[in-house]
Structure 1
Amino acid sequence: METNTISTALIESEADGLVSRLDQIKPFVMQETMVLAAALPRDAQLLIERFLHAGRHELRVQVAEFLDWLHGDGRTASPAEQQRRFVLIRLQFNVVLAQFDLFTEVVTQRSEHSTGVWLSGLDILAQDALRLERNHDDGDARLVVYLARGAGAAIRRAKTRLPGGKPNPVGIIRLPRERMVGSGIASSLAHEVGHQGAAQLDLVTSLRAELDRRAQQDPDGGWDVWSLWISEIVADMWSVATVGITSTVGLLAVVSLPRYFVFRPGGTDPHPMPYLRVLISAALGDALYPHPQWRGLASVWRAMYPPAGLPAEHLAWIGKCEAHIGDLVSLLVNHPVPAAGGRKLGTIWPTRERQPERLLRLHQDWGGDFGVMARQRPALVFAVLGQAKAAGRITAEEESSQLSSLLTAWAVRSSLDDMGAPARLAGSPAHHLTTPALTTRR
């Protein structure tokens, strides 16, 4: 048998194998077991399914076109050319699998007992944290949450590039399992939401431009390091503005590390040095919600990690940065946001209802009434309970118990609302989400 014939048969068999394996990839709605309350938000589910369906459909078309070529002009092509074209298709197949696996981790946890429902409640908290002061969230990215090992949180923002180069249809937030469930998880979640919100408002670009201008005008003002760290600082600001002291207390817990790491220079790392990061968070809180609690928290942090004993040059650099934190915070809160009509950054969040004394009054007025709390905005509830815990009004156990019940309630209510309302996204009917087997010409 000729070499060309053998190579054509071998490559055709491999291409048919790709189609068979592609047929085994089913929409999540056909393969995941979960209670309805644990399901992804309906908008997010549709966006994910349509995104993955589009990738599978495009790959099927590519395989069909390749097989048509292989049985036509490609039959006489060299084995090297046949293999080159097939390898490109197989690489695209691996991209489709990588995209599917990315969302599989998000969806499969929804089948875990209790955890799945809590994740659905956290989806709602994340969407609420993105809303700012608007009465609706139309136009905002859809956000979904999953858990992972380790202490750090992260986000794969909506519209960023996935494997293969296509934009991510939803924002995917990864939270540490060890923080479930308490107000501390709101600190991490609101920080990651802040990255999405900052991208939607293009905050990092405008802030970095202003910081770079200040660095040129005042080389000794520490503006260059703030410019390096600004993406994380603005996300921390979003978190403080959303859940109040809950954010800074949660951050303190995350960066409570061995002393070496707390003071270690970051080099090109966009994350601020932990020692300075907590102080910046507390200073932002004091600017948005003036109260002695912020200075008290900063004093506790300094007592936990006294900088004395560090090398003199490093100690002097830290001291200079710390002395200019007030200048940084002033720039942030007064920064005009073009995407928000030129409003100052410090005014785009509902800061009036997050003042510490008001949060404590709300906690007193609610009186632990579960029905009352379940009807409030989730971000406000997390801020209230976190403030109450910081003030010694409730214990960590009471906070965890209340929040786990509230997350469940929000998830159940959202699932029932989805059952009684049409999808907000226009598009093809549900049967278009399935992928019939490909028929190729021979």
Structure 2
Amino acid sequence: MTDPARHQLTTELAHWRAAIANLADLSAVAAPEAWAQLEDYMRLQLRRRLLASISALAAEGAGLAAAVATDQPLNACRSALLRLRQRYLAVEATVEFYGDAVQQRTTPGLGAVLRGLDTIAVDAMEAILRPLGIETPPALVYPEKGRGAAILKAGIRLWDRGGLSPVAAIKVTRHNLAHPTAILHESSHQTNHLTGWNTELGQALADVAGARSTALADLWSSWASEIAADVGAFMLCGWPPVPALANVVDGTTTAVHRIRPGDPHPPAWLRVKLNVELCRNWFGPGPWDALGETWQSRHAPSRLPGRDAQVASASMPMLPEIAAACTRRPFKAFGGRPLSALADPRRVSPAALAELARTAGDTLLTSAFLARNESLRVLAVLTSQQPSDPAEATVHTSRLHKWLAQLAPVPLPRAA
């Protein structure tokens, strides 16, 4: 090749085509034993999705190489190379995200716990979706640093624009592997996305708050998606998610009342208080009262000037009505039924959980029937206590993780 510019373009293209070829080796981003820890269907779907994007990228690179070799206009070829490079980075980001999530399963003990949490997430979604005839996506749970959990929902378009996410990828924070009820909040995000409840709930919240002011109606409606996820976790597990939430969102009094424009999360104060009200609404008096009183004494709105504290004070009288609207009002998303018709919180009341623990006895952690039919209630039993001693907390965590490791069948060794 005598044209230096075309030769330079050819070498640059060779670099990116080699990078694409290397990206196709998925064992480079997650070890074969980590891929083998995934449930077969999820492993197949995830790998197929990633390899499809890589194959499309490779075909694009091959087409560009042919254009360069046949003396197509150089400027057009270079523009195409720049587009290929951007596409590569997007595909790489997608592969790295899922590869990092899968790689966490290399350690057998942690891998077994994460498989159990996959099952919990799917069971949480199925509780709502199956009665509605909506297909439940697979769930891939992975641990990461930080305070709060997160989800990359199944069915949304990924960075590489090569198709939709085939799984619900749920981040659980490492500190909350000991109390992983946030997975129910994230699973509810997926459920609410598929049912369309967020929009309906937003209107219901606006109806309640609008009786006081349009400003409050707008605020509460804007928080619908996060409120819906909190409500979903409560309906499926009862009280245990509430102290876990309070532990994560606590901060200074100014911080827990702060309203951030555009943030779908309610201020931590109102979020915790609403969760406490959900417990009162369905269960009456209980340990949630002490949590509510603690937050009242710790973060009373009267200590602060300004709009944030005014919103908190104005919203407090509405919480019983909001709790009832979220859980007892019929919605089209649920086939004209209230959410409680699909997930009755009375099944996870303290009394109901105590009865389950009493009747199950030693079989609570060993029964295959309970594991497959009552996994969410068993999880609620195992996370219902709040140990005050670190040694006791370690025992509770060990018990929970042993059960989670047995919840999903151990996969047989297989090629990734």
Q: Please report the TM-score for the alignment, with normalisation by the length of structure 1.
A: 0.84
Structure 2 unpaired stretches of 5+:
none
- Asked whether the equivalents of residues 209 and 220 of structure 2 are also in contact (C-alpha less than 8 Å), the reply is no
- CA gap of 1:23–1:406, structure 2 versus 1, over 3 A, is same
How far does residue 130 in structure 1 lie from its aligned partner after superposition? Answer: 1.1
How far does residue 410 in structure 1 lie from its aligned partner after superposition? Answer: 1.7
How does 1:181-196 map onto structure 2 within 5 Å? 181=178, 184-186=179-181, 188-196=182-190
User: What does residue 355 of structure 2 align with?
Assistant: 361
Amino acid at match of 2:394: E
How does 1:243-262 map onto structure 2 within 5 Å? 243-262=237-256
Asked whether 1:57 is paired with 2:84, we answer: no
Amino acid at match of 1:44: M
Structure 1 unpaired stretches of 5+:
420-429, 434-442
Rounded to whole Å, the distance in 1 between the matches of 2:259 and 2:134 is 41
How far does residue 321 in structure 1 lie from its aligned partner after superposition? Answer: 0.7
How does 1:72-83 map onto structure 2 within 5 Å? 72=70, 75-77=71-73, 79-83=74-78
Q: Residue deviations 1:179-223, cap 9 Å, x none?
A: 222xx222x111111111110110111122343455666526932
Partner SS, residue 140 of structure 2 = strand
Rounded to whole Å, the distance in 2 between the matches of 1:171 and 1:56 is 21
- Asked whether the equivalents of residues 216 and 311 of structure 2 are also in contact (C-alpha less than 8 Å), the reply is no
- Asked whether the equivalents of residues 336 and 345 of structure 1 are also in contact (C-alpha less than 8 Å), the reply is yes
How far does residue 389 in structure 1 lie from its aligned partner after superposition? Answer: 4.7
- Asked whether the equivalents of residues 29 and 96 of structure 2 are also in contact (C-alpha less than 8 Å), the reply is no
Partner SS, residue 343 of structure 1 = coil
Rounded to whole Å, the distance in 2 between the matches of 1:215 and 1:354 is 29
195-204 or 220-229, which deviates more: 220-229
Rounded to whole Å, the distance in 2 between the matches of 1:26 and 1:289 is 53
- CA gap of 1:216–1:322, structure 2 versus 1, over 3 A, is closer
User: What does residue 405 of structure 2 align with?
Assistant: 408
Partner SS, residue 266 of structure 1 = coil
User: What does residue 153 of structure 1 align with?
Assistant: 149
Rounded to whole Å, the distance in 1 between the matches of 2:33 and 2:65 is 42
Q: Residue deviations 1:318-341, cap 9 Å, x none?
A: 211111111211221233232332
Q: Relative contact order (alpha carbons < 8 A, sep ≥ 6): 1 or 2 greater?
A: 1
User: What does residue 94 of structure 1 align with?
Assistant: 89
- CA gap of 1:213–1:274, structure 2 versus 1, over 3 A, is closer
How far does residue 264 in structure 1 lie from its aligned partner after superposition? Answer: 2.2
- Asked whether the equivalents of residues 20 and 54 of structure 2 are also in contact (C-alpha less than 8 Å), the reply is yes
RMSD of aligned alpha carbons: 3.0
Which structure dedicates a bigger proportion of its chain to helix?
2
Rounded to whole Å, the distance in 2 between the matches of 1:68 and 1:307 is 68
- Asked whether the equivalents of residues 52 and 100 of structure 1 are also in contact (C-alpha less than 8 Å), the reply is yes
User: What does residue 438 of structure 1 align with?
Assistant: none
Amino acid at match of 2:50: L
- CA gap of 1:45–1:30, structure 2 versus 1, over 3 A, is farther
- From 286, 289, 297, give the equivalent of 1:292: 286
- From 52, 66, 69, give the equivalent of 1:68: 66
- Asked whether the equivalents of residues 337 and 344 of structure 1 are also in contact (C-alpha less than 8 Å), the reply is yes
- CA gap of 1:210–1:263, structure 2 versus 1, over 3 A, is closer
- Asked whether the equivalents of residues 206 and 217 of structure 2 are also in contact (C-alpha less than 8 Å), the reply is yes
Asked whether 1:235 is paired with 2:229, we answer: yes
Q: Residue deviations 1:276-324, cap 9 Å, x none?
A: 1111011122334444333343223323333332227654432111111
Partner SS, residue 261 of structure 1 = helix
Q: How many residues align?
A: 410
Amino acid at match of 2:101: V
328-337 or 249-258, which deviates more: 328-337
Amino acid at match of 2:91: V
User: What does residue 44 of structure 2 align with?
Assistant: 46
Partner SS, residue 173 of structure 1 = strand
Q: Please report the TM-score for the alignment, with normalisation by the length of structure 2.
A: 0.88
- Asked whether the equivalents of residues 277 and 319 of structure 2 are also in contact (C-alpha less than 8 Å), the reply is yes
